[in-house]
């Protein structure tokens, strides 16, 4: 599975709702069901962006193409834009079957979950300190082998 990351300039460079609009334009650039669903949760997503939860914990989109991780930049990083990457994606991740996970502070998870349930079938929330559960079969991951270097043999003259 491949992963691409984007870093979106948020406050104070742009407001939280404007940052969400950039994210929607990035992951759902064409009119359709996905774009409408994402625009329908603008208030909820903007609230999450304003708490700076996506600073270190990404919003994650899993769908067509590589998994997309979206972080937000804040304060001086947002103003300078040196680490920003808002370029278009090679594939639209919201075509076909897709899901999105938003990170939130632990205190906000309950209300965000309730609010999202009323407006979206594909967007969920998680505690920002928890990893995104992508639903992949854990046995597949357990069966993968990791490369190891035999340092003794490597350093042998």
The answer to whether position 114 is within a domain reads yes
pLDDT for the residue 137: 45
Q: What is the DSSP letter of 54?
A: G
The answer to whether position 153 is within a domain reads no
Contact 78, 12 (CB under 8 A): yes
3-class secondary structure, 144: coil
Instruction: Tell me how many domains the chain contains.
Output: 1
How many Å apart are CA 39 and CA 106, to the nearest integer?
A: 24
Which range marks the domain in which residue 116 is found? 3-136
- pLDDT reading at 39 higher than 80: yes
The answer to whether position 46 is within a domain reads yes
The answer to whether position 145 is within a domain reads no
The answer to whether position 156 is within a domain reads no
Which of the two residues, 149 and 6, has the higher pLDDT score? 6
The answer to whether position 143 is within a domain reads no
The answer to whether position 141 is within a domain reads no
pTM of model > 0.75:
yes
The answer to whether position 123 is within a domain reads yes
Residues with Cβ within 8 Å of residue 113, at least 6 apart in sequence: 124, 125
Closest among 127, 126, 78 to 99, alpha carbons compared: 126
DSSP structure string for 9-46: E-TTTS-HHHHHHHHHHHH--SSSHHHHHHHHTHHHHH
- Strands 123-127 and 99-104 come out as parallel
- pLDDT reading at 9 higher than 70: yes
């Amino acid at each position: 599975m491949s992963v691409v990351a984007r870093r979106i300039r948020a406050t104070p460079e742009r407001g939280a709702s404007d940052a969400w609009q950039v994210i929607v334009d990035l992951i759902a650039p064409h009119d359709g069901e996905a774009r409408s669903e994402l625009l329908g949760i603008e208030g909820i997503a903007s609230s999450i962006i304003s708490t700076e939860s996506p600073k270190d914990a990404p919003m994650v989109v899993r769908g067509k193409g590589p998994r997309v991780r979206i972080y937000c930049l804040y304060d001086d990083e947002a103003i300078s834009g040196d680490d920003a990457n808002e370029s278009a994606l090679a594939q639209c991740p919201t075509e076909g079957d897709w899901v999105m996970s938003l990170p939130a502070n632990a205190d906000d998870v309950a209300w965000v979950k309730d609010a999202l349930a009323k407006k979206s079938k594909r967007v969920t929330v998680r505690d920002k300190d928890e990893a995104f559960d992508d639903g992949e079969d854990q046995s597949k991951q357990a069966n993968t082998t990791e490369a190891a270097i035999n340092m003794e043999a490597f350093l042998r003259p």
